[in-house]
Each structure stands twice: as structure tokens, then as C-alpha cells.
Amino acid sequence: MTPTTDAHSPSVEFSPTLPQIVGVLGGGRMGAGIAHAFLMAGCTVTVVERDLDALGGAHVRVHAAVQKSAEKLRTSPPAQEPAANAAHAADAAHAAMARLRLSTDYVHLAPCALVVEAVPEVVELKTKALLEAERHLDAAAVLATNTSSLSVTDLARNLARPENFLGLHFFNPVPASLLVEIVAGLRTSPALASAATGWVAALGKTAVSVQDSPGFASSRLGVALALEAMRMLEDGVAGAQDIDNAMVLGYRHQTGPLRTTDLVGLDVRLEIADYLARTLGPRFDPPQILRDKVARGELGRKSGKGFFDWDPPPAATPAATLHPRQPHEGPRP
């Protein structure tokens, strides 16, 4: 990306070639998945988290995703001997992890050409993270949000370079999902939105482009279906597995709406539903069963229980055992 200016208004030329140095704000399930996607595409990735314990969790999640990709490569139909295939997979995993950087300080984002924010779906948290990241980036760098429902235009309101900002909505689980929603805010450069389709293709995914609107296309449809499935469960129409089977087997959905909610996180679904109810009306009011489960800490796969039971999440890597190449100098300002 090369900055070009004229006497009246600065502009930036955006290349469809995938940026090679990428930052991710937040190393939770979504942030780690986004980091994995860019690592496997050959990028150097810096994940910024709030503290060393959070960095340990981020490291576990990224490493697990990379190892799973390596295992798929190892067991794919070999073009050579199985032993050579296994060695290639191990080399690919090692190379990917060697390109990972972890930090608690936004200053390490300075070399990044693209930074993707993936902090919790709370306006205040996202706004603070985006402002702090922008402060450390070059004028030609792109800042993106992974929000699944919040207004990209509103999140850009206090940014110095809103034309360099857009939504890149990845889907959970990121490694398995083939879709990225590109969301253009009112001040997003059309050239940036166009270039982002090339980035998504380079990640091996398909882009859908939408204009900024509550819930965009995917969350608005997905949440509507999930909320109705919860109401059916609440009303005793059918059990959770039968409701999901109706959509998987009857409508060829890859996963049912309740299992998808477990994967996304019930707390995340509740935040999105509350936001959509405020902006689009009472048809998105969350059912009581969702509020009750979140209050009990039944958040889905990440907590071990939601609408279904799940294996417990993996333990975080202690901060002292983080990969020695990772910068983790202490609390960010």
C-alpha cells in the first residue's frame, strides 16, 4: 500500500495482495482463529492481549489450530512418501509458529500493514482498542473490526483515518469457515473494500460484501433463526438435538442453530440480540432461556456447557513458557 496525496485530500492506494505483516487485537477464540488464518497464508502476525495470562491462552489456541492444520496436511493424499509428507507438515507448523508474535503492548503493531480488532462485542472496548491501535500505525495501514453486528460507521467515528477502516467479519470457527463478510462503513474507501476481497481470497475464503447495517447480512439472519430455535426449546416444541437435526437434515445447514450458538458463545449471542433489539425492534428480543443460561455461566463450548455438553476447554500456557521469540515486555499503556 503506497500513500499518495494531492493538495486537497490525502488518499491511499490499496493493493489486493495480502499484507504480509498483520496484527490482531485479542487472542480469544475469534482472535486466535484470525491469527491462524493469516499465519497459514504466510504472514507474520502479532497478537496483542491485555496481560500475560491472556497471552498464554492465545498461544494455546493458535498453536492448537496450527497443529490441527498440520495434521490435515500430514494425512492428506501424499504426493511423496508418507514420512516426507509428515516432515513437510511439521515444517509448515514450525514455520507458522515462528511467525507468531505475542505482546501486551500496542507499540509492537507499528510495522503492521493491517490490524484486525477481535475484542469482545462491547462498543466501549472496541472503540478504545481501535483508537489505541491507530495511534501506533502508519498512515497507509488498514484497521479492521471483526464485529459481527455493531455499526462500522459508529466505530470509525473517532478515528483519524476512517477511510482506512472497514469490517472484516470472520466466522467461528475461523479455520473451518469459508466465509468473511466485508462491511463498508459510510467513510470506508471503496478501493479498500475492493482490495479486501483479494485478501479474503488469499486466505482461502469467500467474501460477501455488505453495507453497514445492524447485524449486516449474516448475523441478522443467523440470530433470527437461533432466537426462534431457543423459543421453540423454551416452549417444549422439541429437544435441542431434534431442532438442530430439522435444519441440518431438512435444510442442509452444516450445523443447527443451537449448536452454532454454542460455538459462537451464548454471551456473544445475547449481546448481539440485545443490540439488534435496540436497533431493529422487539423481534430480536432474547428469550428468557438465553438470559438464564448466560447468568448461570453456560456459555457454550468455551465453558463446557450451553445447549449441549462439550469437553472442557484446554488450559492456558503459563506466561513463563511462552515461545521465546514472542515479545511480552509487560502491561501496555
Residue 313 is assigned to a structural domain of this protein: no
Tell me, yes or no, whether 157 and 263 share the same domain: no
**pTM of the complete model:** 0.81
Tell me, yes or no, whether 12 and 30 share the same domain: yes
Flag whether pLDDT at 73 surpasses 90. Answer: no
- The number of distinct structural domains making up the chain is 2
Tell me, yes or no, whether 115 and 173 share the same domain: yes
Flag whether pLDDT at 271 surpasses 70. Answer: yes
The answer to which of 7-21, 68-82, 134-148 has the lowest mean pLDDT is 68-82
Instruction: Please write the tens of the pLDDT for every residue from 233-262.
Output: 999 999 999 999 999 999 999 999 999 999
> Strand 100-103 relative to strand 44-48: parallel, antiparallel, unpaired?
parallel
pLDDT at 332: 33
Confidence of residue 11 (pLDDT cuts 50, 70, 90): low
Maximum mean pLDDT: which of 73-77, 155-159, 219-223: 155-159
Tell me, yes or no, whether 108 and 188 share the same domain: yes
pLDDT at 287: 98
Tell me, yes or no, whether 206 and 266 share the same domain: no
For residue 126, give the C-alpha cell: 472496541
Tell me, yes or no, whether 95 and 198 share the same domain: yes
Instruction: Please write the tens of the pLDDT for every residue from 147-204.
Output: 988 999 999 999 999 999 999 999 988 999 999 999 999 999 999 999 999 999 999 9
For residue 271, give the C-alpha cell: 449481546
Tell me, yes or no, whether 261 and 129 share the same domain: no
Tell me, yes or no, whether 90 and 175 share the same domain: yes
Rounded Cα–Cα distance for residues 31 and 33 (Å):
5
Residue 53: phi and psi, rounded to 5, are: -60, -45
Query: 254 and 248 in contact (C-beta within 8 Å)?
Result: yes
Flag whether pLDDT at 10 surpasses 60. Answer: no
Tell me, yes or no, whether 224 and 128 share the same domain: no
Residue 303 is assigned to a structural domain of this protein: no
Residue 301 is assigned to a structural domain of this protein: no
Tell me, yes or no, whether 258 and 202 share the same domain: no
Tell me, yes or no, whether 204 and 126 share the same domain: yes
Residue 141 is assigned to a structural domain of this protein: yes
Average the pLDDT over 284-293 and give the result. 98
In terms of residue numbers, what domain contains 41?
A: 2-211
